[in-house]
Amino acid sequence: MADAEIGWIAAIIIGGIAGWLAEQFMKSDMGLLMNIVLGIVGAAIASAILSFFGVVLGGWIGYLILGFIGACLLIWIVRAVRGRTA
């Protein structure tokens, strides 16, 4: 996610929080590193999807919301592909 307001360290911290929240919401067990990856990648994916519809969220809270939505989406996709709970 190329947001000038969010630095790398902030992206890692917020991505970790978003991934952890998604992990709790989806009742999954991923681990700290995977939570960070899910949050960061999820924020990028959710940002791309929502910007296609004209919805743009910025700043720390926007990044957290996008990370949570995207991480939940990624967990759901992994479960659908595997055919079991991840």
Q: What is the pLDDT of residues 59-83, one digit of tens each?
A: 889 889 989 999 999 999 888 888 7
Proportion of the chain above pLDDT 70, given as a percent: 90
pLDDT of residue 10 exceeding 70, the answer is: yes
pLDDT of residue 1 exceeding 50, the answer is: no
pLDDT of residue 5 exceeding 70, the answer is: no
- What average pLDDT does the segment 56-60 reach? 83
Could you give the C-alpha distances from 83 to 9, 43, 50, 68, 77, in angstroms and in order? 35, 24, 27, 22, 10
Q: At what angle do helices 8-25 and 59-82 cross, to 10 degrees?
A: 50
18 and 42 in contact (C-beta within 8 Å)? yes
Nearest to 40 by CA among 73, 13, 60, 4: 13
74 and 51 in contact (C-beta within 8 Å)? no
Confidence of residue 7 (pLDDT cuts 50, 70, 90): confident
